[in-house]
Amino acid sequence: MLDVVAVLLVRSAEAGRTFRGWTTQEWIDLLGRDQTEFRRSAPGWAGDEVRPYLAAHAHLLGSFTEFHRLGSFQRLTLSWRIFGRDHVDGEITRVRAVLAQWGYRLGRDDDTLLPMVVSQLFLLNRSPHLEDLNTELFDRVRRDGLLDGTRLNTLHALQRAVSSLEICDPPRRNTGRHSVRATGGAQVWEQWVDRWHTTSTLTPRQRGGVRSNLLKVGRWVAAEHPDSADPAAWTRQTCAAWVAALDRMNVGDYVQRTAGLKDRIGKPLEASSKDGQLSAIRRFFTDCQEWEWLSRRFDPQRALATPRSVTAMLGPAPRVTADEVWAKLLWAGLNLESADLPESQAGLFYPVELVRAITVTWLFSGQRSNEIARLRLGCIRWQHDGDPIVGDAQQVLARDAVCLLDIPIHKTGTAFTKPVDPILGQAIEAWQAIHPSQPQLLDRRTGERVDLLFAFRARRVSTAYINNTIIPMLCRKAGVPDADIRGNITSHRARSTIASQLYNAKEPMTLFELQAWLGHRSPQSTQYYAKISPNTLTRAYTDAGYFSRNVRTIEVLVDRDAVTSGAAAAGEPWQHYDLGHGYCTYTFFEQCPHRMACARCDFYTPKASSKGQLLEAKDNLQRMLANIPLTDEEQLAVDDGQAALDQLLERLVDVPTPSGATPREIGVPATATLLPIVSVNQGKQG
């Protein structure tokens, strides 16, 4: 346009040199940081349409690339003008093809942001070719803040797509604006910690946890024992001082960031935290001594051992969720709909089939959250009568096929296979049917690249997804709180709840069967999960019959005539214990040593006698049941029968009866009839 050339000539005349010698700031002064600023500095005859063309000339003639300083600007249109529309659109299509293959839903926002970010990089790189986008360029954009925060996710996706074309490196982990590498203590201490971190063979997550704890030690050393900032200067006395300080430490002491601690700051550290921090520094010094970096001035296992007072409070404590709450969560998971899923501005981040598969796996597999996140494609297999199912399995599934789930190498053992409910297999297969092709991702535990089941948009589903999204979503749908008396409902509570229910089922798993199903290395670990429910314990206690074994009931007849007439006060019998073969009128019958095999003393009235028949003929008798405790010998007489009764009689043959005479003096036969004790029944009969 002639107006563009005219503006350049006028400004060149004012500057006294041609535009090829202008600085970046001079180009910005000409273009303005927005349209309003351009209008103030440009000649009055230059229209608004001049500014975009001036920007193109700045790029072509003045090597200008600071377009991020020009405010809101149509980068895509500018790229079309400079590099050609067909070529720019062709490169953007290449990126879109890769992202769509991974599951990106390129809707309205993606159609706007992706071309804009690609155009920005083309302009910065002064090249419209994806092959010229290198790792340094992506790092520079992040480091210098050349894109605002809303576009960093798109930049991340773009770099991953370009890296899959083997053009640049994939984006580094934690490269966002908020990633700050933890530091702490003296420089020499931090150098030792970083040296250990780069050498250790622990998993990245474990290494990071140990490093964080070691830096906390470094801050304490710098504050309390600056002469021991170098690990080579540590002695047993330094170790003892750290153990004592840690035992009295509170939450928030010597930490770099307090965000997230909330109301916990100032409270004493839990025993598990103390043990974890001591374990970290023990490992550090043990490794440094094993690798011959440090001389063996002390034994870390003894000098930095966890105190007994702390060890006594340690131990696995799986928290079982109440059956009624767990049943509601199961219902919510099995009836999950798209409307239940949280949405972002761009809609659902994950497909509902993926969310449903993760949810059902958490509810039915009994696995840890990191094991669920590490499941592989094809982890579900079907069997019938011990044979694999091939081909169309629908008819076989209807006839009780067995669903098997392959678990990868995990925390306590090697890979194994376990049976699960068919509904879990069906949910996973529904997700696998629409699973977009994904690049192989690194298994951080094994170090190998694998095809992960729960991966989308070329990234793994976070291990925190169950805690942060799935569980709150299920609690909302089920109408239950996300915490109970045992604490927050977390991902690991499913494992202990399922194990407890399997152990307390009507036909329960044995301890060793449950150990194999959970994947534990030893039955001792399984015992922590195999919690006996109160219902099962109550049923077992009732079946044991503690009360009925030690207490029996006997029928008592109360002669109301004798009581009301006053004859009872004159010594007339009024209370009659029914012995089956007769009645005993001894008032303290429960204290009589002969009660289980009556010696037929003066207090005894046979039923066949006229006195016994007269008693039964009375109309105003009140019948009651009385409980009597039993000794061990008496219990044997009740449980084992005649032989035990004969032994009881032999032992009591010279024991006086309530009337004063012994059974030997009364002449009781060597055998007798056992007292007919009825079942336990607390109550009264009238």
- Give the pLDDT of residue 387: 63
Both tokens of 97, joined, read: 């093809």
Was domain 323-529 assigned CATH 1.10.443.10? Answer: yes
Which residues, including other chains, have CB under 8 Å from residue 8's CB and lie 6 or more apart?
Answer: 19, 54, 57
* Confidence at residue 205, expressed as pLDDT on a 0 to 100 scale: 82
CA distance 484 to 490: 11
Distance CA 300, CA 196 (A): 16
Q: Please give the pLDDT value at position 265.
A: 86
β-sheet bridge partners, residue 488:
483
Phi-psi label, residue 626: left if phi above 0, alpha if psi -120 to 50, beta otherwise: beta
Q: How many CB atoms lie within 10 A of CB 361?
A: 29
Contacts of 639 (CB under 8 A, 6+ apart): none
Torsion angle in degrees (nearest 10) through CA of 502, 506, 507, 513: 20
Segment 576-617, tens digit of pLDDT: 888 777 888 888 887 888 776 777 787 888 887 877 777 777
DSSP H helices in 409-491: 422-434, 465, 471-478
Closest residue by Cα to residue 243 from 303, 190, 314, 301: 303
> 452-487 burial by CB neighbour count: b if 16+ within 10 A, else e?
bbbbbebbbbebebbbebbbebbbebbebeeeeeee
Token match 């299920």: residue? 474
Q: Residues with Cβ < 8 Å from 200, sequence gap 6 or more?
A: 207, 210, 287
> Could you tell me the pTM of the whole model?
0.65
- Given a contact cutoff of 8 angstroms between Cβ atoms, the answer to whether 585 and 556 are in contact is no
For residue range 486-501, list pLDDT tens digits in order: 888 999 899 989 998 8
Q: Do residues 325 and 480 touch, judged by C-beta distance below 8 A?
A: yes
Give the phi and the psi of residue 584 in degrees, each rounded to 5. Answer: -110, 130
CA distance linking residue 118 with residue 76, whole number of Å: 8
The structure tokens 């576009």 sit at 151
* Res 52: pLDDT: 66
Supply the pLDDT for residue 410.
86
Residue with tokens 């709450």: 325
Sequence-separated (6 or more) residues with CB below 8 Å from residue 174: none
459 closest CA partner among 208, 166, 163, 148: 163
Residue 676 is predicted with a pLDDT of 57
Angle between helices 135-143 and 152-164 in degrees, nearest 10: 170
- Helices 2-15 and 24-31, axial angle in degrees (round to 10): 130
Beta strands in 9-93 (DSSP E): none
Distance CA 289, CA 444 (A): 27
Say how far apart CA 67 and CA 144 lie, in whole Å. 13
Total length of the chain: 686
Cα gap 550→605, rounded to integer Å: 27
Name the segment(s) of the chain with CATH classification 1.10.443.10.
323-529
Residue 502 identity = L
Count of alpha carbons within 13 angstroms of residue 336, beta-carbon side: 25
Token pair of 671, please? 């055998």
Instruction: Look at residue 20 in the predicted model and tell me its pLDDT.
Output: 67
- Helix, strand or coil, per DSSP, at residue 607: coil
The long-range contacts involving 409-413, CB below 8 angstroms and separated by at least 24 positions, are 409/445, 409/446, 410/367, 410/368, 410/371, 410/445, 410/519, 411/368, 411/370, 411/371, 412/519, 412/520, 412/521, 412/525, 413/519, 413/520, 413/521
pLDDT of residue 537: 77
As a whole number of angstroms, the distance between CA 497 and CA 489 comes to: 11
The separation between CA 420 and the C-alpha centre of its own chain, rounded to angstroms, equals 19
C-alpha–C-alpha distance, residues 599 and 579, integer Å: 11
Q: Which residues of the chain have pLDDT under 70?
A: 1-21, 24, 26-29, 31-54, 57-58, 61-62, 71-72, 106-111, 149-150, 173-181, 315-317, 344-347, 385-400, 545-552, 596, 637-642, 645, 668-686
Q: 449-450 and 455-456 as β-strands: parallel, antiparallel, unpaired? A: unpaired
Angle between helices 108-125 and 75-83 (to 10 degrees): 50
The answer to whether 585 touches 659, Cβ cutoff 8 Å, is no
C-alpha dist (Å) from residue 41 to 33, 37, 63 = 11, 7, 21
Beta pairing class for 387-388 and 380-384: antiparallel
